[in-house]
Amino acid sequence: MIDIKLIRENKELVKKNIKKKFQDHKLQLVDDVFDLDNEYRKLKYQADELRKDRNTMSGKIGTLMREGKKEEVEDIKNKVKDINTKLLDLEEQEYELSNNIENIMMNIPNIIDDSVPIGKDDSENLEVKKYGDPVIPDYEIPYHSEIMEKLSGLDLDSARKTSGSGFYFLTGDIARLHSAILSYARDFMINKGFTYVIPPFMIRSDVVSGVMSFNEMDVMMYKIEGEDLYLIGTSEHSMIGKFKDTILDSEKLPYTLTSYSPCFRKEKGAHGIEERGVYRIHQFEKQEMIVICEPKDSVEWFEKMYNYTVEFFRTLDVPVRTLECCSGDLADLKVKSIDVEAWSPRQKKYFEVGSCSNLGDAQSRRLGIRTNNNGEKYFLHTLNNTVVAPPRMLIAFLENNYNEDGSINIPEVLRPYMGNIDKINI
């Protein structure tokens, strides 16, 4: 959510930003909130003036009582009563206008960074850099679910019986590999100086609306029936919510946290739930990184964070590339975003395995996350990034470490988490 002062002082800039995101249907929202804000401020001024008059009159009552001027006291009391009646009406109007303004502001996209390329959708995202040499072996690499099934590691049929499409059973060495990657990711981030956290896996609606846009909420979140609770789509949701309505000590900034959680997503309106594999699913696990920092430091942290993910994948012998998300592909709260994509030798192309986002002060403004620096209170910047999200990451790992005989190489850094084996054999 942007600062309403920006609309008051430069609403054309806000409209220009909306056009960059190809959301022209939201242009009218800027004019609507501008008019409502003017009306709100007029009402607030009237109410403040009435409160001043009431305070002045109330202050005279004691003096008049001591002077025995009872008639004047009664006259003032009647005037105060009339003011109170008017104030009640004005305060009701203020409250309604304030809610209307907030609801509209929640739908106006954040101001994107000037460096973000302009484009309508993800097809216009721009490659930034490649890391590692993509290899296409001279033997065929099976579909990832076939690799897992041959290793007795995946059971989709049973999952469809218990839970429906979009779920899975992982077993044996594949299940162990899944857990090993998460354990390695945890330690990788701890060694980068991040504090490890296991957060709540459910959050309240006021936290949901604080960390994401309404459109994302509808597409992603599972609601717990009869409760004001949602299953998290990523641990970022509860991790940022942890600091709701908090004034953080400026001397302790930045907060650098890495969190593990299961993630639950409806994937409504997405490309469909895969019947054959684990690429797009309703449930998965993820290691995340979250940073809350001074506004001046968020650009530097953004670059650090996505480079940590690149480094992590390279230690697992997986070639990756970074992709700059264009304006039309950015969610409304994001200032800038970089996707990390892994190489698929079977498909001969890259596919997304993580995303790093700088949200500026949008989440902090919604949730009230501030610092007090020498008496100055202001909103902090929040950033999040995927370290690793298996089982999707397993697709890239298995394909890039697949041998012609069907075995899977285990990179050296992962062996301590896999009982020191160097290969998974059929």
pLDDT at 60: 85
Compute the average pLDDT of residues 154-176: 95
Is residue 403 very low, low, confident or very high in pLDDT (cuts 50, 70, 90)? very high
Q: Are residues 64 and 145 in the same domain?
A: no
Q: Is residue 290 part of a domain?
A: yes
- 372 close to 251: Cβ distance less than 8 angstroms: no
In a domain, 64, yes or no: yes
The domain boundary residue, chosen from 105, 139, 157? 105
Give the pLDDT mean for 165-192.
Answer: 97
> What is the structure's pLDDT at 67?
81
Report how many domains make up the chain. Answer: 2
Domain that holds residue 15: 4-105
pLDDT of 270 above 90: no
pLDDT value of position 240: 97
**Residue at a domain's end among 105, 131, 154:** 105
Domain containing residue 31: CATH number: 1.10.287.40
Domain membership flag for residue 418: yes
Q: What is the mean pLDDT of residues 273-296?
A: 88
Q: Does one domain contain both 182 and 66?
A: no
Note whether 135 and 214 are same-domain residues: yes
Tens digits of per-residue pLDDT, 341-370? 999 999 999 999 999 999 999 999 999 999
Please check the confidence at residue 269 and state whether its pLDDT lies above 50: no
pLDDT mean across residues, the chain: 94
Residues 203 and 260 in one domain: yes
Segment (H or E) for 127: strand 126-131
Say whether both 162 and 84 belong to one domain.
no
Structure confidence at residue 275 as a pLDDT band (50, 70, 90): low
Give the CATH number, domain containing residue 195.
Answer: 3.30.930.10
**Residue 73: band (very low, low, confident or very high) from pLDDT cuts 50, 70, 90:** confident
Residues 98 and 203 in one domain: no
Q: Provide the pLDDT confidence category of residue 267 given band limits of 50, 70 and 90.
A: confident
Beta-strand runs (E) in 265-390: 283-293, 320-324, 336-344, 349-358, 369-373, 376-379, 381-388
Give yes or no: residues 377 and 258 share one domain: yes
Model confidence at 239: pLDDT above 80: yes
Helix boundaries (H) for 21-69: 27-66
User: Do residues 305 and 278 both lie within one domain?
Assistant: yes
Token pair of 197 as six digits: 């956290």
pTM of the model: 0.89
Bridge partners (DSSP) of residue 262 are 285
Radius of gyration in angstroms for the set of CA atoms belonging to the chain, rounded to a whole number: 27
Kindly state whether residue 255 falls inside one of the protein's structural domains: yes
Per-residue pLDDT tens for 375-397? 899 999 999 999 999 988 999 99
Q: Assess whether pLDDT exceeds 70 at residue 186.
A: yes
* pLDDT for residue 268: 57
Q: Are residues 130 and 67 in the same domain?
A: no
Percent of the chain with pLDDT over 70: 98
Same domain, residue pair 161 and 60: no
Q: Residues 245-257: pLDDT tens digits? A: 999 999 999 999 9
For residues 133 and 73, state if they share a domain: no
Residue 20 domain-assigned?
yes
- Asked if 68 and 206 sit in the same domain, the reply is no
CA distances from 283 to 259, 262, 421 (A): 17, 7, 28
pLDDT in tens, 314-335: 999 999 999 999 999 999 999 9
Q: Tell whether 110 is covered by a domain.
A: no
Considering the domain boundaries, does residue 332 fall inside one?
Answer: yes
Residue-level pLDDT at 402: 97
Asked whether residue 391 is assigned to any structural domain, the reply reads: yes
Q: Last residue of a domain, which of 45, 80, 105? A: 105
pLDDT digits (tens, 9 = 90+) for 15-54: 999 999 999 999 999 999 999 999 999 999 999 999 999 9
